[in-house]
Amino acid sequence: MSTRIVEIRAKVMRQNDLLAHALRERFETSGVSVVGLVSSPGSGKTAFLEKLLSGLARDFRVAALVGDLATENDAARLKRATPNVRQITTGTICHLDAQMIEKALEGWQLDTLDFLFIENVGNLVCPSSYDLGEELRFVMLSATEGEDKPLKYPTIFNSSDVAIITKMDLAEAAEFDVAAARRNIESVRPGMQIFEVSAKTGSGMQRVFQLLRDQLAHSRETRPALQIQTIQ
């Protein structure tokens, strides 16, 4: 029985990887930069994303897919920043997968977007195994969660590109050791870019905005045939 379960899981993962590869090619052809966000529940992921969408929407065309087990509360909140938001309700499934992303994108003209953000279900275990076709993946931990998250969940940090430490406005009150958190991230993912931010105060957000602008410009330089447009 255990062999059968392993075989089924391997088939599911292969199917997901193939679909994620197709999504990535589709994103690249459309010229949209796709960024995934993963974290545990309560890390401030939605507040951070709302800040990103609001800031980038002044100059770029932005959209978001939001994963959650139930409710459309996060999507409703993010629509204050942009109308281009869709909720993915997963029920009992603790992660998004490539098939969910493909279905959620139905009817969207990707070539009319500059940035697409995918907010995964709050979980630091399951999402690490599922490629969604993103160009970048942000893994987030908050100052209120403690410094040892990277040591407890190394796989999600190894499968991500950038670490975001959120709720830095609460770091002192929570007695959060930033240096220790950075050491822990470095120990499991050497050389990883780390940003310290507060969505509430806006501290550190400009560096993230610049990273995203640079990433979009770099991606489009490798695809010179694409017509680059921004909001005038």
In order of 45, 71, 118, 128, 232, the CA distances from 93 in angstroms are: 19, 14, 16, 14, 41
| Percent of residues, the chain, with pLDDT higher than 90 | 81
Residue 199 has pLDDT above 50, yes or no: yes
Reported as a single tens digit per residue, the pLDDT across 46-92 is 999 999 999 999 999 999 999 998 888 889 999 999 999 999 999 88
Q: Under CATH, which number does the domain 30-220 receive?
A: 3.40.50.300
Residue from 120, 194, 200 nearest 157 by CA: 194
The sign of the CA dihedral 75, 144, 185, 205 is: positive
Question: What mean pLDDT, rounded, does the chain reach?
Answer: 91
Considering just the CA atoms, what is the radius of gyration of the chain in Å?
17
Domain ranges of the chain: 30-220
Residue 214 has pLDDT above 50, yes or no: yes
Reported as a single tens digit per residue, the pLDDT across 122-145 is 999 989 889 999 999 999 999 999
Q: Are 6 and 198 in contact (CB under 8 A)?
A: no
The sign of the CA dihedral 119, 121, 123, 127 is: negative
* Region 25-41 average pLDDT: 96
